[in-house]
């Protein structure tokens, strides 16, 4: 079974990308402060962010994630 990884919606994109790399996964779920899943962040979302030339270290993951989760 494949594990499901998640991270807080309060982190920056850079931190989320480093977490994904450490877990060797292509996507992570995003949780709000109440522990509810509010989005998903994938390699495709990271690429879209970089295409817009936004700084991953100063962009909140909430701005880059896909939402709602389908």
pLDDT of residue 1: 81
User: Could you report the average pLDDT of every consecutive run of 10 residues in the chain (70 residues)?
Assistant: 93 97 97 96 96 95 92
Instruction: Convert 46-70 to b/e letters by CB count within 10 Å (16 or more is b).
Output: beebeeeeeebeebebbebbeeeee
The tokens for 44 are 């495709």
């Amino acid at each position: 079974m494949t594990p499901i990884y998640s991270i807080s919606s309060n982190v920056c994109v850079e931190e989320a990308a480093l977490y994904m790399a450490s877990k060797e996964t292509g996507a992570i779920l995003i949780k709000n402060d109440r522990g509810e899943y509010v989005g998903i962040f994938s390699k495709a979302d990271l690429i879209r962010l970089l295409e817009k030339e936004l700084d991953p270290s100063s962009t909140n993951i909430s701005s880059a994630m896909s939402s709602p989760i389908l």
